[in-house]
Amino acid sequence: MITPEEFKSAFRLHPAGVALITADPGGSPVALTASSVSAVSADPPLAMFSVSALSSSARNLRKADSVVIHLLSADNLDLALLGAASGVDRFADESRWHRLPTGEPVFEEVKTWMRADILHRVDAGGSNVFVVTIVESRVAPDAAMCEGLVYRNRTWHRVDDSTVTSMPELIGASAG
Amino acid sequence: MITPEEFKSAFRLHPAGVALITADPGGSPVALTASSVSAVSADPPLAMFSVSALSSSARNLRKADSVVIHLLSADNLDLALLGAASGVDRFADESRWHRLPTGEPVFEEVKTWMRADILHRVDAGGSNVFVVTIVESRVAPDAAMCEGLVYRNRTWHRVDDSTVTSMPELIGASAG
């Protein structure tokens, strides 16, 4: 096994999309920022994410049956910071969120969010890996106009039309 | 549950880092591109990724006990395309890869790679979620000089110093 320092060094430069995950396992809503959300399967609609089990938000999340996954754009950086801050009431501004009929908190300003039922929870080291079934999704009509938000090397980045790479010349590819 | 089309629409704009995963479950090496690799825990050093179980590479990967995860930078876009191409011998150019003493194929040109033992495999829909223990890592001294590679909206992006976002003004934050 490698050391925690070697591990952090290896993953530090790996870019990741950013999400705010919310839940209400009973009475007290939780929200936390995760850079580990990814699609698993379109049919059935499955996704996954992991959270450290050390925070109080994460301990509450373990009790939840369902979550809302907000896929954040660059416009939502303040929500990413809110969900990562310590010692802050993440639900203090009641104008920004409301409850779905099923009880989960949702921040409607986020262009893309999904409600999901927890299908598997795998305990892995000091963390929990969740595999979830997406039961509802909302993508705002103007979602594609927003810049994407990426976390890399302890910094926040935006991706948009200006960051598209040029394609390499493929060996053996026809000139089309 | 949502439809596959709704699922793809929701995840299309979510940025993801890109990795090439290799293994040799016995005689015939496999390589595939995954945009689902993320860190789970630094101590113990755990990571996760998912792959569709439909491809022949993925079927072979299910038989492996260990993998090499290459975290790709923008310079490695051709490897990302190679690991996603169909009907191509991904190991045809023998000058680009070799075997580790433990048998896994490694593409040394990639600045950051990790060897990992498979700890859990969760069958999820038509996909497999792998939780792995990192047993060895290599980060080239100049890794931080490379642009990151991001997949978003069916396009490849680069992230570097020029894509760092400006920070929002935080409500209640002190001026420090």
pLDDT at residue A51 in the model: 95
pLDDT at residue A172 in the model: 45
pLDDT at residue A170 in the model: 54
Contacts of A43 in chain B (CB under 8 A): 4, 7, 125-126
Note whether B163 contacts A163, CB cutoff 8 Å. yes
Of A154, A166, A168, A104, nearest in space to B165 by CA: A154
B54 Cβ under 8 Å from any chain A Cβ: no
Confidence of residue A84 (pLDDT cuts 50, 70, 90): very high
Confidence of residue A89 (pLDDT cuts 50, 70, 90): very high
Burial B100-134 (b: 16+ CB within 10 A, else e): eeeebbbbeebbbbbbbebbbebebbebbbbbbbb
Residue A72 near residue A18, CB atoms below 8 Å: yes
Query: Judging by DSSP bridges, how do beta strands B38-41 and A66-71 pair with one another?
Result: unpaired
pLDDT tens for each residue of B124-161 = 998 999 999 999 999 999 999 999 999 999 999 999 99
User: CB within 8 A of A174, min separation 6: which ones?
Assistant: none
Query: Judging by DSSP bridges, how do beta strands A66-71 and A112-124 pair with one another?
Result: antiparallel
Q: Select the residue from B6, B8, B14, B146 to test the A interface by mutation, using most A Cβ atoms within 10 A.
A: B14
CA–CA dist B79, B82 (Å, integer): 5
Q: Select the residue from B133, B157, B171 to test the A interface by mutation, using most A Cβ atoms within 10 A.
A: B157
Domains and CATH numbers, chain B: 17-144 (2.30.110.10)
Q: What is the pTM of this model?
A: 0.94
User: CB within 8 A of B149, min separation 6: which ones?
Assistant: A15, A165, B17, B18, B72, B73, B74, B76, B77, B80, B156, B157, B158
Predicted ipTM?
0.93
CA–CA dist B128, B2 (Å, integer): 20
Name the strand (E) or helix (H) holding B119: strand B112-124
Contacts of B126 in chain A (CB under 8 A): 41, 43
Contacts of B159 in chain A (CB under 8 A): 15, 150, 152, 157, 159, 163
Residue B114 near residue B69, CB atoms below 8 Å: yes
pLDDT for residue B13 is more than 90: yes
